[in-house]
Amino acid sequence: GVKLVEPSDFTGSLRNRENIYHKIGNMLDSAKQSVVLVTSAEGLIRKNDLLKKSLKRLKDRNVKIRIVAPITKENLDATKELVKFAEVRNTQRINARFAIVDENEIMFMVLDDKDVHSNYDVGIWMEAPFFSKAIIDMFNVVWNNLEDSRSVIVKLGGKK
């Protein structure tokens, strides 16, 4: 009665940023409790452009959404849009790109988006509760020490 679970059935690598965002969109569609997005300053703009509708649906379903990214004058408009659906916090020190859904499924990008053309971006997807929970535990420690996006918006000249 024991069923062997093959780890390779729950992992995959994706090449090309379009494919990565498609997979992240699928992950978001299945979210029931929580979504964590950590991204670059440029990635925040892309997420606003490509995932805003999904994030709005998640908010309407009471899914908790947390986003961490460097907030800059260049992505201020995207930040103002995303705070309608998510808690957004500012970081100037964390340089990472990943998405975690329901502390179960994770997509992390292995290259810096400043250094790679979108066609050659690489993401690793895993359905791995143990690994995802470990990353979330570390994320939670950092989250509590990050600046809230609303104060950054005011500092950069935008309105709350």
Interval 144-153: pLDDT, tens: 999 999 899 9
The pLDDT score that the predictor gives to residue 7 is 60
The pLDDT score that the predictor gives to residue 158 is 64
**What CA–CA distance (Å, rounded) separates 11 from 15?**
14
Q: Is the pLDDT of residue 1 over 80?
A: no
The pLDDT score that the predictor gives to residue 84 is 96
Give the three-state DSSP class for 27.
helix
Alpha carbon 8 to chain centroid distance?
23
Amino acid identity at 132: S
User: What's this model's pTM, rounded to 2 decimal places?
Assistant: 0.91
**What CA–CA distance (Å, rounded) separates 126 from 103?**
11
Angstrom distances, CA of residue 64 to CA of 28, 125, 135: 11, 21, 17
Across the range 65-81, mean pLDDT stands at: 97
| CB neighbourhood size of 11 (10 A) | 13
pLDDT in tens, 3-53: 555 665 678 999 999 999 999 999 999 999 999 999 999 999 999 999 999
The pLDDT score that the predictor gives to residue 10 is 79
The pLDDT score that the predictor gives to residue 100 is 98
**What CA–CA distance (Å, rounded) separates 117 from 46?**
14
Across the range 54-80, mean pLDDT stands at: 97
Scanning the chain, the segments in alpha helix (DSSP H) are 17-29, 41-60, 76-82, 129-143, 149-155
pLDDT in tens, 75-111: 999 999 999 999 999 999 899 999 999 999 999 999 9
Across the range 57-80, mean pLDDT stands at: 97
Give the three-state DSSP class for 13.
strand
pLDDT in tens, 112-123: 999 999 999 999
Say how many CA atoms lie within 13 Å of 17 toward its Cβ.
Answer: 16
